[in-house]
């Protein structure tokens, strides 16, 4: 492949292909302010925008630039893209150990992670691109990056989906103030990218909770403090103890195991009526008694399947109950599968797909259940410190089984 020879006085050419930029991306790129904040939905094209702007500064204008991401994983693909570009430029020097590219005209590209903010100290910059800025340590901008732009009068481009009203929200509001002439803010939904089919967005909307839709796809800032479940009280249809097994109905059980500090929770859902019909919760009970209690509940409701968390001490209990003839299924909870498990329950409650029991423990755990957005883009779901989430997990497992079970009724032996 022929390498491109860039002269040191190049100031108008660019390696970027602007034909790949949609109108929203072009609108941001044409701005003249030093500091630009872009709140955008997933797949809007922020990475394409950031790379295009950075390459313009480093290659066309021979400027010193940084790409900053919350984690090493997130910076990895961008680093590979920049290296592929640099290999096409004659005289470009790539330092794998420093994640840095020095260009023949004097420009520089460095890709950094903010995982350890104190390691980011460096010399002056002309441009910093902060990718997924809402998930970067709030100290990084005012204490590290902003001082590096002082002597050069450099600029910054902040790109992110929102995450509550944190420091990214603060700088976004600065860009909305007409008196702040050095700042500009933009807000784009995922649907503003014309390359995404309307039918795809409609499909996502039907299967996504209101919180996730507004934050991840409409790029709206919210002040809910990570609340996961909405409409909990409205989802209550009947008080407890009003239900009995109905002929022809499919019943699913979800189990979250506990022993001393945590509780074991057993949730029963009528998959036919889409109604929670029973909930049991206890602790300080040995495994034999716990299995016996579950066996009694199963004999009463005759479930099609029992989904139980298999983490830690769950697997031995599941195996023992399978030997006793119960239709046990294992669910190994992980960071990757807990998110869809919880989001499915949140959507069911919010949209009225599932009726809940009027149980104060259940309603309290659902109302206080929260999430933390991780730098890699996923979520960490948990109860507040010192609280429990046993009924939440058991209900989520039962709903998972109700949504994924076969339509025919299977009675265990």
What are the chain's domains? 18-217 (3.40.50.300), 233-404 (3.30.420.240)
pLDDT value at residue 71 = 85
Q: Which residues have a Cβ under 8 Å from the Cβ of 315 and sit 6 or more positions away?
A: 330
- pLDDT per residue as tens digits for the range 176-235: 888 899 999 999 999 989 889 999 999 988 888 877 888 889 998 876 556 788 889 899
Position 242 pLDDT exceeds 70: no
pLDDT value at residue 413 = 36
82-108 as b/e: b if 16+ CB within 10 A: bbebbeebeebeeeeeebbbbbbbebb
Mutual orientation of helices 335-351 and 390-404 as an angle, nearest 10°? 80
Which residue spans within 258-405 are E strands per DSSP?
A: 264-270, 275-282, 305-309, 328-331, 356-357, 370-373, 379-382
Model confidence at 9, pLDDT cuts 50, 70, 90, reads very low
Burial of residue 190 (CB within 10 Å: 0-12, 13-18, 19+) is buried
- pLDDT per residue as tens digits for the range 334-386: 877 888 899 899 999 988 999 999 888 898 899 888 877 665 555 678 887 77
pLDDT value at residue 397 = 96
Residue whose pair of structure tokens reads 């939905």 in the numeric block: 41
Q: Region 36-53: what's the mean pLDDT? A: 92
Q: Which residues have a Cβ under 8 Å from the Cβ of 167 and sit 6 or more positions away?
A: 134, 138, 141
| Cα–Cα distance, 172 to 39 (Å, whole number) | 8
* Beta pairing, strands 356-357 & 236-238: parallel
Position 14 pLDDT exceeds 90: no
- pLDDT per residue as tens digits for the range 110-161: 999 887 777 777 778 999 999 999 989 888 999 999 999 999 999 999 999 9
- pLDDT per residue as tens digits for the range 244-299: 899 999 999 999 998 767 789 999 999 999 999 999 998 888 889 999 999 999 99
pLDDT value at residue 407 = 42
| Cα–Cα distance, 85 to 99 (Å, whole number) | 14
pLDDT value at residue 75 = 87
* Beta pairing, strands 64-69 & 108-113: parallel
Position 412 pLDDT exceeds 60: no
| Cα–Cα distance, 139 to 137 (Å, whole number) | 5
């Amino acid at each position: 492949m022929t390498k491109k020879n860039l002269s040191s006085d190049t100031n108008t050419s660019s390696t970027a292909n602007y034909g790949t930029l949609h109108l929203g991306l072009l609108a941001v790129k044409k701005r003249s302010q030093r500091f630009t904040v872009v709140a955008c939905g997933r797949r809007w094209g922020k990475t394409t925008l950031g790379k295009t702007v950075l390459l313009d500064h480093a290659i066309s204008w021979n400027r010193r630039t940084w790409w900053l991401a919350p984690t090493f994983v997130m910076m990895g693909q961008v680093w590979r893209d920049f290296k592929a570009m640099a290999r096409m430029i004659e005289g470009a020097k790539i330092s794998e150990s420093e994640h840095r590219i020095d260009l023949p005209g004097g420009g520089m590209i460095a890709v950094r992670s903010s995982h350890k903010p104190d390691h980011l100290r460096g010399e002056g910059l002309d441009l910093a691109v902060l990718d997924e800025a809402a998930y970067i340590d709030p100290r990084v901008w005012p204490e590290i990056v902003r001082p590096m732009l002082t002597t050069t009068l450099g600029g910054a481009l902040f790109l992110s989906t929102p995450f509550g009203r944190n420091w990214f929200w603060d700088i976004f509001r600065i860009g909305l103030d007409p008196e702040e002439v050095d700042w500009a803010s933009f807000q784009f939904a995922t649907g503003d990218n014309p390359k995404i089919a309307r039918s795809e967005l409609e499909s996502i909307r039907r299967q996504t909770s209101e919180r996730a839709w507004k934050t991840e796809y409409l790029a709206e800032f919210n002040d809910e403090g990570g609340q996961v479940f909405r409409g909990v009280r409205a989802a209550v249809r009947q008080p407890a103890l009003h239900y009995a097994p109905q002929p022809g109905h499919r019943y699913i059980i979800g189990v979250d195991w506990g022993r001393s500090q945590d509780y074991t929770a057993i949730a029963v859902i009528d998959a036919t009526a889409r109604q929670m019909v029973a909930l049991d919760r206890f602790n300080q009970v040995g495994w034999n008694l716990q299995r016996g209690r579950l066996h009694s509940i199963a004999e009463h409701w005759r479930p099609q399947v029992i989904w139980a968390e298999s983490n830690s001490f769950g697997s031995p209990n599941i195996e023992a109950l399978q030997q006793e003839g119960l239709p046990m299924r294992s669910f190994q909870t992980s960071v990757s599968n807990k998110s869809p498990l919880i989001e499915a329950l949140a959507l069911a409650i919010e949209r009225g797909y599932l009726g809940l029991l009027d149980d104060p423990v259940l309603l309290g755990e659902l109302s206080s259940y929260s999430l933390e957005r991780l730098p890699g883009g996923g979520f960490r779901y948990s109860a507040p410190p010192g609280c429990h989430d046993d009924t939440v997990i058991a209900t989520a497992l039962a709903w998972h089984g109700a949504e994924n079970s076969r339509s025919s009724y299977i009675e265990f032996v």
